Structure 1
C-alpha cells in the first residue's frame, strides 16, 4: 500500500488538471486491487488455511492476555480472600451469639410483660384500707415500676441487638459476594487455562498439517524444476538454491506456538526466475472447464514469511477424470510418472517454448517420448489439480497469458 501511495505522490504533479488526476487515481486503484487479488489468491487453499491459523493465533493471544489479567487479579485478591473467609467465620459466630442473646431477651420480655399484666390487675382491685393492704399496694406499685423499667430496657436492647444482627448480615452478604466473585474468577481462570491448552494443541496440529502441505508444495516445485534442468530447459543456480533451502528450513523450524514465527521474509526464492510476456497468438486451455487455485508469481507465506515464486498455475477441473489437452503443436520430450508430481508430460514447441503438464492422474496410452502431437490432442487425464507451466528459452511465461 505504501508503494502505491508513494507512486501517487511522486507521479501526480500538484497542478495536473482534474480529469487526468481522476484517470490516474482510477488506474492506480485498479492496479492495487489487481495486485492484492493476485497475491491473496496465488494458492487459495493454502491462503484459507493460513487465515484460519492466524485467526486461531489471535484467539489464543486474547486468551493468554485474559489469563494474565485473571492471575494478577486473583494474586492481588488472595490476601483479601483469606481475610474475608476469617472475617466471615467471626461474623457468623458473633451472629450466632447475638441470636442466642436475642432469644434470651425475648423470654425476659415475655416474662416481664406477663408480670406487668398481673400487677396491673392487682392494682386495679379494690382492697381494704388496712395497713397490710396499703403496704401490699405500695409493694405492687414498686414492682410494677421496676417491671416497666425492665421492659423498656429489654425492649431497647432487643431493637439494638436486631440492628446489630441486620448490620452483620449485610456485611456478611457483601463479604459472601466478594468471596463468590473470587471463586467465579478462579473457575474462569481454570476454564480459560483448559481452553487455552486445547487451542494450543489444536494450533500445533493445524500448523503441523500446514507445514507438511507447504513443504509438499516446495518439494513439488523443486522436483519439477530439477526435471526441467535435467532436460536443459532451464538452468538452476545451485549455490543460491542451497542458500534458499537453508533459509526456508530455518524459517520453518518449530518454535513456541503461543508466539508464532516472527522471522524476516526470506529473500528472493531460488525459484524466482526471469519472466517474459507471451506475445504469440492465443490458444486453447489445457482443460475445458477449470478454476484457478494457484496463480503465477510471487507469494509470501503468511505463517512462515517464506517468499515463494510460483512458476506454474494450478487448475482444478470442473469434473473428475477430466481430459488434458496439448495447447500447441509440438513434440513430447518427457512422459513418465514421478514421486512427487504423479504423471508429468513435457511438450517442446517452436521458438524455444515448452509446456509442462504435471499432477496427471494418467498419461494417454499413445503419448510417448519423441511423439509429435497436434494442438488439442489429449495427453492425459486429471482428477485433482493440473499443474501447468510454460517456459521459453530459459525464461518463464505466465501460463494464463496463453489462453
Structure 2
C-alpha cells in the first residue's frame, strides 16, 4: 500500500503537469483558430511587395490616362498657341508704336499749353490802339484759338490712345495667360512622362524581384513534393505537374507591365491536391513562439493571377536560432540538406501520418534516418522561417489543425 501511495505521490506532479500542458495546448489551439482570419494569404514580405506592385500599376494607369488627356488637349491647342504667339507679337508692335505716338502727343501738348499760356499773357497786356497793335492782337487771338483747338485735339487723341493701349494690354495679358497655360500643360506632360518612365522602371525592377521570390516558392514547393513522392508519402501526376509548370511560366512571362490578366487555375497544384481534416489528438507546435507568415490552402497570386495551392505553412520564430520540436512520437525517415529547402527532416508517425520540417538552419546531431524520436524532441533549429507540412495516406492536412 505504501509503495502504491509512493508511486502516486511521485507521478502525480507529472500527471498534473501533463494536464496543464493539455490545457495550454487547447488554449493555444483556440487562439490559433480565432486568429485564422488574420493570417495573410501569402508570405508577408511577398504580400507587401505585391501591394507595392499593384499600387505602382494603378499609378502608371493614372499617369497614362493623364498623358493621353494632355496630349489630346495640347494637340487641339497647338494651332491656338501658334496664333496666340503671332497675335502677341503684332500686339507688341502696335503697343510700341502707340507708346511712341503717345510720347509725341505729350510733347506737342506741353508745347501748345506753353504757347497758349504765352498768348494769354500777351492778350492781357495793355497796349495802344494803333492799327499795328490792333492787328497784332487779332493775330494773337487767332493763334490762341488755333492753339486751343490743337490742345483739345491732342487731349482727345491722348485719352483715346490711353484707352486703346489699356485694351491692348488687357488683350495681351489674356493671350499671355493662355500661352502660359499651354506652356504649363507642356511642362506637366514632360514631367508626367518622366514620372511614368520612372514608375515603369521601378515596376519592372519590383516585378522581377517578386518573380524571383515567387519562382523560389514554387520551386521549393515542387522540390518538397518530389521528395515526398520519392519516399512514397504522396503520389504526383507527372503529366499534370509538367502542365502546371508550363502554365506558371507562361503566366509569369507576361511582358505587359500594366496589364491585369484574368485569374487562371494553374495545374494540379490547384485542382488535384487531395486534402482531409485532421481528426486526431491535438499536439504541440514545432516552435515555442512564432508568427504564421504563409497559410495553408488556395492562394491567388495578386500579380500574375495564377491560383496555387499552399500545401504547407510558414512559421517565423520569435527568436533567432529557435529550436524546432517534433510534434508526435515517430521515426525519422529523411534528414538531410537539399538545394532549395536547406535542411529537411521528415518524421513518420502512426496511422500513415507524416510531418515535414523544411528550411531548417541546422539538423540536430542525433537526428538520423531510422532514429525513433518522441514528441517534443529537438530535431533542429531555424533562423528565418520554418516550412511545416503534414500528410496522411496521400492526403494533405492543414498543419495548424494539429496544434
Q: Structure 2 length as normaliser, TM-score?
A: 0.89
Distance 2:105 2:268 in 1: 93
Q: Which runs of 5+ in 2 are unaligned?
A: 1-33
Matched residue SS, 1:65? helix
Aligned residues: 369
Partner of 1:30: none
Distance 2:357 2:95 in 1: 88
Deviation at 1:35, TM superposition (A): 8.6
Q: Is the Cα contact below 8 Å between 2:41 and 2:299 reproduced in 1?
A: no
Distance 1:43 1:309 in 2: 13
Map Cα deviations across residues 28-80 of structure 1 (whole Å, 9 max, x no partner): xxxxx999756x43433222221111111101111111111111111111111
Distance 1:129 1:254 in 2: 114
Deviation at 1:182, TM superposition (A): 1.1
Aligned: 1:209 with 2:209: yes
Q: Is the Cα contact below 8 Å between 1:332 and 1:345 reproduced in 2?
A: yes
Q: Which runs of 5+ in 1 are unaligned?
A: 1-32
Partner of 2:130: 130
Deviation at 1:103, TM superposition (A): 0.8
The 5 Å alignment of 1:148-163 reads 148-163=148-163
Report which stretch shifted further, 96-105 or 45-54: 45-54
Deviation at 1:260, TM superposition (A): 2.5
Map Cα deviations across residues 264-315 of structure 1 (whole Å, 9 max, x no partner): 4124543641111111111111000000111110001011111110111110
Report which stretch shifted further, 271-280 or 52-61: 271-280
Partner of 2:337: 337
Matched residue SS, 2:328? coil
Deviation at 1:261, TM superposition (A): 4.2
The 5 Å alignment of 1:136-285 reads 136-257=136-257, 259-267=258-266, 269-270=268-269, 272-285=272-285
Partner of 1:118: 118
- Please, what is the CA RMSD of the aligned residues? 1.5
Distance 2:268 2:212 in 1: 19
Distance 1:264 1:290 in 2: 32
Map Cα deviations across residues 337-371 of structure 1 (whole Å, 9 max, x no partner): 00000000000111111110000000000100011
The 5 Å alignment of 1:248-397 reads 248-257=248-257, 259-267=258-266, 269-270=268-269, 272-397=272-397
Distance 2:225 2:353 in 1: 15
Q: Is the Cα contact below 8 Å between 1:235 and 1:394 reproduced in 2?
A: yes
Distance 2:145 2:42 in 1: 104
Partner of 1:29: none
Distance 1:263 1:279 in 2: 37
The 5 Å alignment of 1:19-34 reads none
